Chain A
Amino acid sequence: MERLLCVYVEALAEEAPDGSTLRDYSTLLDALSLLCPFTEPVRLGLYALPVRAPSRFFGGEAAVLDVVAATVREVTGHDPSLGIADGLFCAEIAARERVLVAPGATPSFRRRQPLAALGREDLVTTCRRLGLHTVGAFADVERARVAERFNKNAVVLHQVARGELSELATQRDTKLLGRLGRLHGAELSDVQLGFFGQRGDDDRAHAAAQRVQSRLGAGGVVVASLRGGRVPEDRATLVPWGSPASPARDDAPWPGQLRSPSPATTLRVRQGVELHDGNAEMVRVSSRGLLSARPRTLLSPEGRRDVIWHAGPWPSLEGWWGRSRRRAHLQLLLGGGEAVLLVAEAGRWWLVGLYD
């Protein structure tokens, strides 16, 4: 069961007649999502955050509580009730009680809750007559006894009591996600129809890219562009998001360009492979740009693959700035139906692209 931090804000639990509650709830959700992207809107007034990753990031659960409490105060002006336990059922109780259930202590915490925590008056009344007052006492009843005495809802509650299910079905507002989505949709269309045209979209994308970069480092987000060149691995430019735009544009026709379709994966670091003919001899490209034999087998670190068809080689000799570079590209169709792009250079074969 996952360790959850529940955030309960009483002021956002009751819907105000002017409809502002949902908007405030959404604003706080955005703020909490900056701390932990997996903040879950459970229902109005209640959020749940898986606490393991943030506590590593902020340095302990206490630090997460501090920063969450500060965020809620800053955004809403109200003090939240916070609690941590395993599973949503216990985490919500913990939040209302403002307690941290120590790791591993959730089962005993759950067992000593009064039966009313399961939220069914009828169950509480019947069980009281049977002398069962706590969740733990109810959990100790055999499942078969529960099934014969109560209906199937009670069997589900029994599973929650035993910790086999982490939450009650009534804890989540199933319509809430849809309502938040519509709220966003409404805001989005306002921006698009409004004064600034598409600007809103670009700003949103930039903000998101910045968030990922702060998580993964400057090279975490990259953008791509094309420049002139003969082969796919030369034509692609990938630069970290935010670096100065590359002035080169792919607008001129390039003689001898390898024709489309291009491989959907172009390896950034090309991978050394061996290409053999039927006699397990290495296939070579002659100085006239011809293959020494028909390729039969491709040997790569991933294993040995049969070559069932090939096209090329397409040789190219580039002599820029005095450094000449002789290469030849070869397309292969492998036994499993996959197609790959190889290049021969400096007496070796390299895998440069996958048509995946």
Chain B
Amino acid sequence: MAPVTGGGYAYEHMFAFPTERPTLPADLVATLRPVALATSRTLPLGEPWSALVPGGGLRRGTTVVVQAPPGSGGLSLALSLVARASVEGHWTGVVGVGDPGVVAIAELGVDLRRVLFVPRPLGAWAESAADLLDGVDLLVVRAPPRCGYGAARRLVDRVRERGTVMIVLVEPNAPWPLPGDLSLTITESRWVTSSRLDARHLTVLVGGRGEAARAVAHVVVVPDRRGRAAR
């Protein structure tokens, strides 16, 4: 087999292998900067979530998995999570939501001036999400139905490394391949009507890791008559 060359590198044949491997670096954490204040590590949640989510906020670097059957209110719920932080000056990216209902998003209390939409990322949804992660504090992603484990894990790692909060919206028949740090699962969705659609009552299972390990079911109203999230 003749060596194939490319970019100055030759495809391998046989090489002696050095047996010495680098040892992991000694722990020199003490030389690093002090950790930032606890408040800056958490993004605020508005009503009703601040009372329902353990810790009362969204910890930076974590992934929230919102799982909902199609048409049952998952998108409204996911967007209601970013409303408070957006009003307080944090930027949000929304990837893969093809036709965002801008009026509804404004009614939920989101400040549209600090939202970047990537409605149709085509084949590059994960790359677009990764690009946006650098510039926003919150990222809402509607994951494609066949999202691979590798792509998901790389995004989650990057979220952890960048200190962003990622909210992934998935359907039960195509779940997110990793466990979320916080998971909000819509188990029941019921509209209250009068002479028009009035409000939607969602039964949401709030679970996840750590403090949220024991899942608790709550009933929330998303949206209510004014289009907001409420209890």
Chain A residues in the interface with B (C-beta under 8 A): 2, 13-15, 17-19, 21-22, 33, 37-38, 40-41, 43-45, 50, 53, 60-63, 65-66, 69, 82-83, 93-94, 96-102, 105, 109, 112-114, 116-117, 119, 170, 173, 177-186, 188-189, 192, 198, 201-202, 204-209, 211-212, 215-216, 220-226, 232, 235-238, 241, 250, 259-268, 309, 311-312, 331, 333-334, 336-339, 353-356
Contact = CB atoms under 8 A, between A and B. Distances in A.
A65 B101 contact: no
A18 B28 CA distance: 9
B128 A220 contact: yes
What are the 4 A-B residue pairs with the smallest beta carbon separation, nearest first?
Answer: A208-B135, A338-B71, A62-B6, A99-B12
Interface of B: 4, 6-12, 14-15, 17-19, 21-22, 24-26, 28-29, 31-37, 40-41, 60-61, 70-76, 79, 89-91, 93, 97-107, 112-122, 124, 126-128, 130-137, 150-151, 154, 157-158, 160-163, 189-191, 193, 195-197, 199-200, 223-227
25 contacts: A2-B150, A19-B33, A37-B158, A50-B154, A62-B6, A82-B9, A101-B11, A105-B12, A179-B29, A185-B35, A185-B36, A185-B163, A208-B133, A216-B122, A224-B100, A224-B117, A226-B102, A236-B101, A260-B107, A260-B223, A261-B223, A266-B100, A311-B196, A338-B70, A339-B71
Contacts of A182: 32-33, 35-36
Given A223-B117, A356-B72, 11 more contacts: A15-B26, A38-B154, A101-B12, A182-B33, A186-B34, A209-B132, A212-B132, A222-B117, A238-B102, A265-B98, A266-B99
Contacts of A202: 91
A173 B157 CA distance: 12
A354 B89 CA distance: 29
Contact of B162 (A50, A181, A250): A181
Contact of A208 (B28, B116, B158): B116
B41 A93 contact: no
B196 A259 contact: yes
Contacts of A355: 71, 73, 76, 191, 197, 200
A262 B200 CA distance: 12
A105 to B, nearest CB: 8
| Interface SS of chain A | mixed
Contacts of B74: 356
A114 B116 contact: no
Nearest to B110: A224
A22 B32 CA distance: 9
Contacts of B120: 220
A114 B150 CA distance: 29
B31 A19 contact: yes
Contacts of A201: 89-91, 137
A284 to B, nearest CB: 21
A309 B193 contact: yes
Contact of A99 (B9, B124, B226): B9
A216 B93 CA distance: 15
A100 B161 contact: no
Nearest to A333: B191
B197 A333 contact: yes
A339 B191 contact: yes
A97 B15 contact: yes
Contacts of B7: 61-63, 65-66, 69
A53 B128 CA distance: 13
A208 B134 contact: yes
Given A14-B25, A264-B75, A355-B200, A102 B190 contact: no
A205 B93 CA distance: 9
The listed residue with most B CB atoms (<10 A of its CB), out of A14, A339, A355, is A355
A208 B92 CA distance: 11
Given A19-B32, A208-B116, A222-B117, A261 B12 contact: no
Contacts of A222: 116-119
